[in-house]
Structure 1
Amino acid sequence: MRSVIVVHPEFDRTWPFGIERLLQLVKQDGPVELIRLDAFAQSIVGDVVDQPETVDRLFSLNAEITTSCLEKFTSLKEAVIECTFQRALPKPEIIEALNRLNIRWYTQPTEGFWSQSVSEFALGLTICGLRRIPQLHHDIIQSQKPWDYDVPGGIGAPGGRGFQFGDDTRFTNGTVEGKRVRIVGAGNIASRYASFVHMLGADVAAWDPFATEPSFHRAGARKEWHLDRLIKEAEIFVPMLPLTTETNGIITSEHINALPKGTLVVLATRAEICDMNALRKRVLEDELCLAADVFDIEPLPLSDPLLGRPNVIHTPHNAGRTKDANYRFIEKLYEQFLPLANKERS
């Protein structure tokens, strides 16, 4: 069994820990050769692999490959021809050649590789939004004032400043438990997030016209049939659909304006599914709290009025890119390969 990995630095730019995991997996089946291409060389796969006719498994990751290259791999049984992140499928002529040469080929079958990372990050944003953790962290670096819980005259009053109380009662605050969490989406990311907040004791409902019925059961979320009703009930509102032509702007200004005052809005997938002008307006008027990893303008200008506000949590669009997500990306590719025992019998 001869396995060869040919990787271009463009792949490492997107998945910097991917090759590390791929080597771990392939080595379990035997020796593997790793060929790293120069970023500026005009190298093609067929020219950099010695004795290509002896290769059984090929991983071509953002490397240039032609039909002439494939013709040289006369013993090749399985291959991954991974292109750019935006275009995972090989070129049509490469697909035709792979099929004609009877080579099993695999591409990324899912976006589930970063679902856990994004959904956990969204849970973190939610808790930070409820408890103002980033703001308090920042404040105690600059001053000891946040440590002072005294009230004027030293006499407590209902609903006022209290010992060790630092939440902002203008917005949804406190625990996830007992909150009405309303999610737009029930897919890979949204269903995981829903299961997390459900486990913590939230009242969870989701609306997703694109998801199948089992998605809602798996998430522990009640299926809501009407988006308008979902929005009007929200204490924590979480739009979590992928961005497509169908979902772009699916949360309209009317929906944003219907959110109850004080609602915490969590954005962790794509901002453009919402009318961001309407959302910005209500956040800047202190009517909504925002915890966001994604924005309508990226990177946010340092002059952007959303930055530094007491009712905004902001991170730089990095929810999905953990080392674990890198590993899962590779694992989802590699698990499609035939078990070694089957290869030896074939």
Structure 2
Amino acid sequence: MRTVMVIHPEFDRSWPFAAVRFEQLFRQSGELEVIRLETGSASRVGDVVRHPETVTRLISLQVEITRECVLRFSALEEAVIESTYQSAEPPSEIIETLREQNIQWYTQPTEGFWGQSVAEFALALTLCGLRRIPQTHHEMISSLDPWNYDSPDGVGRPGSRGFQFGDDSRFANGTIEGKRVRIVGAGNVASRYASFVRMLGADVAAWDPYAAEPCFHRAGARKEWHLDSLVLDADIFAPMLPLTPQTREIVTADHIRSLPKGTLVVLATRAEICDMKELRRRVLADEISLAADVFDIEPLPLNDSLLGRHNVVHTPHNAGRTKEANYRYAENLYLQFRKL
């Protein structure tokens, strides 16, 4: 049994901890040969592995591979062939060759490898949006004003600013407990996020025309059958579907307009599933607040009107890329190999 892993630096650029985790896992169960290519290398898998005819397991991570390469691995039984960042599957010609040679090849079953990381980040965005944590952190650097909880004229009034109450009452604020959280999606990210906020005491409902019934049970969310209804009573609105031709702007301008005034919108997967023009309009008009890791323009220009606002929390699209997500990426593939 000979196992070889070939890694292009482009893979490390996307997943800096995944190949290392692969190596750890395979070395626990036997010998592993690791070949790392130089930056900019155009070498093919079949050209860099010595005696390919003796390899029984191959892990090729963003290294060029051809039909001729596969045929040189005449003893190959199992393989992972990650072609590009955009597509984890090998090219169709390679898949056909693998099938012809009765080689079992493995790929990611879902994008669940970053589900936990994104869901946790979305929970953090929610808490930051409700409590204005980033804004007050930044304000404290240059001013003592955040420490002053008096109302502007120093007179206490019901529902106004008071001792240690620094939330903005114009928007959803305070605890997640008791909030009506309305989620578009019930998949890898959305179901985890739903379970988190439900555990904290929120009333959770979700709409997802693509999810099977068990997804809603796993999430602990009430299934809403109509998106038009889901948006009507949201305190917190979290659109969490992947971006596909079918889901682009599935949350329409009418849906955004139907959100109650003061709603906190949480964007942690893909912004373009919403009508961003209308979402921007309502945020800039101080009608709703926003906590977002993803945007319609990335990176956001430094003069973008969403930046630095009192009702916006923003982060630079990094919700899914934790070390743990890298590990899960490798583990999901490793576990599919037959254990000898």
TM over 0.5: yes
Deviates more, 1:220-229 or 1:94-103: 94-103
Tell me the equivalent position of 1:308.
Answer: 308
Tell me the equivalent position of 1:94.
Answer: 94
Q: Shift of the alpha carbon at 1:42?
A: 2.8
Tell me the equivalent position of 1:343.
Answer: none
CA distance in 2: counterparts of 1:40 and 1:240, whole angstroms: 36
Describe the superposition over 1:52-75 as per-residue Cα deviations: whole angstroms up to 9, x where unpaired. 122121101111112222222222
Tell me the equivalent position of 1:298.
Answer: 298
Give the alignment's TM-score, normalised by structure 2: 0.98
CA distance in 1: counterparts of 2:7 and 2:136, whole angstroms: 44
Q: Shift of the alpha carbon at 1:39?
A: 2.5
Tell me the equivalent position of 2:179.
Answer: 179
Deviates more, 1:192-201 or 1:244-253: 244-253
Determine helix, strand or coil for the equivalent of 2:29. coil
Unaligned runs of 5+ in 2: none
Number of residue equivalences: 340
Q: Equivalent pairs: percent with the same residue?
A: 70
Q: Does residue 14 in structure 1 map to residue 14 in structure 2? A: yes
Q: Does residue 222 in structure 1 map to residue 222 in structure 2? A: yes
Determine helix, strand or coil for the equivalent of 1:41. coil
Q: Shift of the alpha carbon at 1:150?
A: 3.1
Q: Shift of the alpha carbon at 1:153?
A: 6.3
Give the alignment's TM-score, normalised by structure 1: 0.96
CA distance in 2: counterparts of 1:52 and 1:309, whole angstroms: 58
Q: Shift of the alpha carbon at 1:93?
A: 1.8
Tell me the equivalent position of 2:289.
Answer: 289
Q: Shift of the alpha carbon at 1:156?
A: 2.2
Q: Shift of the alpha carbon at 1:152?
A: 5.6
Tell me the equivalent position of 1:28.
Answer: 28
CA distance in 2: counterparts of 1:327 and 1:174, whole angstroms: 35
CA distance in 1: counterparts of 2:265 and 2:77, whole angstroms: 49
Tell me the equivalent position of 1:112.
Answer: 112
Q: Shift of the alpha carbon at 1:283?
A: 0.4
CA distance in 2: counterparts of 1:154 and 1:323, whole angstroms: 48
Determine helix, strand or coil for the equivalent of 1:280. helix
5 Å-filtered alignment, 1:47-126, equals 47-126=47-126
Q: Shift of the alpha carbon at 1:224?
A: 0.6
4+ aligned runs moved over 6 Å, structure 1: none
Describe the superposition over 1:13-35 as per-residue Cα deviations: whole angstroms up to 9, x where unpaired. 11111111001110011111110
Structure 2 counterpart of 1:299, one-letter code: P
Describe the superposition over 1:175-196 as per-residue Cα deviations: whole angstroms up to 9, x where unpaired. 0000000001111110000000
Structure 1 counterpart of 2:211, one-letter code: A
Describe the superposition over 1:279-327 as per-residue Cα deviations: whole angstroms up to 9, x where unpaired. 1001000000000001111111111111000000000111111111111
Structure 1 counterpart of 2:81, one-letter code: I
CA distance in 2: counterparts of 1:249 and 1:150, whole angstroms: 43
Determine helix, strand or coil for the equivalent of 1:4. strand
